[in-house]
């Protein structure tokens, strides 16, 4: 099955891991809060909460933090209201970009996101201008270890309902339809597989290569967007190979 190399063509990490971890905690806590306010505290009946808890556990957020957030969301009435907004546009060089935000001040979010696009040579567009270039899919990533038989894992994943299976030297990548994500995840967990990442995400249908100059600006734009506390996810079809990345003066 094709397409894995395009699933994770960029792996960028900031120098300060502590600062990044704090950002992740903030974003996931906000998502848990919003999920509880929307549909209650039971993850068995609240799919959004179940997904948020899966992400939180994957990021090793302490259970105490999660429980405090759930209790706070369940106990408060009207003090905080988060609105979900999706922004669409183009990065430098024409790569498609989707930004999912969860905010209590949409005017602030819109201004900040527009600024990030403009500052780095991108353009914020109208709703629908790039969303048709992405498919909503479940994605499960399992780190490769000596005790995992690739053929057996692939067979179990496909039998559980997975659509695609790919691998590289470090990981196994499993793709599902959104409605099959939980079934596949649960089936593999019951067979003692553990995930380094498990989420429903947006997968590009096609990918865009850009010049080195545009690649550098694109990387900086993505970081600026991900650094925004209101931004939950950034999806794009920007593709860069290791050779080009080595040429880009990016820090």
pLDDT, one tens digit per residue, over 127-145 is 999 999 999 999 999 999 9
**SS3 assignment, position 209:** strand
Please compute the mean of the pLDDT values over residues 69-97 and round it to a whole number.
87
Nearest to 29 by CA among 80, 67, 79: 67
Q: Is 36 left (phi over 0), alpha (psi -120 to 50) or beta?
A: alpha
Q: Is the pLDDT of residue 2 over 50?
A: no
CA distance 162 to 149: 17
- Is residue 127 a contact partner of residue 99, using CB atoms and an 8 Å limit? no
Residue 81: the pLDDT is 79
Q: Can you list the positions of beta strands (E) in the chain?
A: 83-90, 96-103, 123-124, 134-143, 164-167, 171-176, 197-204, 208-209, 231-236, 238-239
Please compute the mean of the pLDDT values over residues 147-161 and round it to a whole number.
96
State both tokens at 159.
Answer: 């039998």
- Say how many Å lie between the first and final Cα of the chain, rounded: 34
**pLDDT tens digits, one per residue of 112-130:** 999 999 999 999 999 999 9
Q: Is the pLDDT of residue 59 over 70?
A: yes
How many H helices and E strands in the chain?
9, 10
Residue 166: the pLDDT is 95
- Quickly state the pLDDT bin for 243 (edges 50, 70, 90): confident
C-alpha distances in angstroms, 40 versus 33, 171, 173, 197, 238? 10, 35, 32, 25, 37
- Is residue 103 a contact partner of residue 31, using CB atoms and an 8 Å limit? no
Beta strands 208-209 and 238-239: pairing type? parallel
Please compute the mean of the pLDDT values over residues 92-120 and round it to a whole number.
95
- Rounded-to-10 torsion of CA 125, 127, 133, 138: 130
CATH of domain 14-75: 1.10.10.200
List the chain domain ranges. 14-75, 82-251
Most confident range (mean pLDDT) of 21-25, 33-37, 107-111, 193-197 is 107-111
Superfamily for domain range 82-251: YebC, transcriptional regulation domain (3.30.70.980)
Residue 18: the pLDDT is 59
Percent pLDDT > 70 in the chain is 90
Q: Is the pLDDT of residue 91 over 60?
A: yes
State both tokens at 12.
Answer: 């960028």
- Quickly state the pLDDT bin for 78 (edges 50, 70, 90): low
Mean pLDDT of the chain: 87
Please compute the mean of the pLDDT values over residues 223-234 and round it to a whole number.
93
Q: Is the pLDDT of residue 14 over 60?
A: no
Cβ within 8 Å of residue 195, ≥6 positions away: 58, 140, 141, 142, 185, 188
- Quickly state the pLDDT bin for 23 (edges 50, 70, 90): confident
């Amino acid at each position: 099955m094709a397409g894995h190399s395009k699933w994770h063509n960029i792996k960028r990490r900031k120098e300060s891991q502590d600062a990044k971890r704090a950002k992740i905690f903030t974003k996931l806590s906000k998502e848990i809060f919003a999920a509880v306010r929307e549909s209650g505290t039971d993850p068995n009946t609240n799919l959004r909460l179940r997904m948020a808890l899966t992400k939180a556990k994957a990021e090793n957020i302490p259970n105490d933090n999660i429980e405090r957030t759930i209790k706070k969301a369940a106990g408060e009435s009207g003090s905080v209201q988060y609105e979900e907004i999706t922004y669409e546009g183009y990065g430098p060089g024409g790569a498609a970009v989707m930004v999912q935000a969860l905010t209590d001040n949409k005017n602030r979010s819109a201004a900040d996101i527009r600024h990030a696009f403009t500052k780095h040579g991108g353009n914020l567009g109208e709703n629908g201008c790039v969303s048709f270039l992405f498919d909503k899919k479940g994605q499960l990533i399992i780190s490769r270890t000596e005790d995992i038989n690739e053929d057996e894992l692939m067979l179990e994943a496909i039998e559980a309902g997975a659509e695609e299976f790919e691998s590289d030297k470090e990981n196994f990548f499993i793709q599902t339809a959104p409605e099959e994500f939980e079934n596949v995840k649960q089936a593999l967990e019951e067979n003692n597989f553990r995930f380094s990442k498990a989420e429903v995400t947006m997968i590009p249908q096609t990918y865009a290569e850009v010049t080195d100059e545009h690649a550098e600006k694109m990387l900086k734009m993505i970081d600026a967007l991900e650094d925004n506390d209101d931004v939950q996810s950034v999806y794009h079809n920007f593709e860069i190979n290791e050779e080009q990345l080595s040429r880009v003066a990016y820090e």
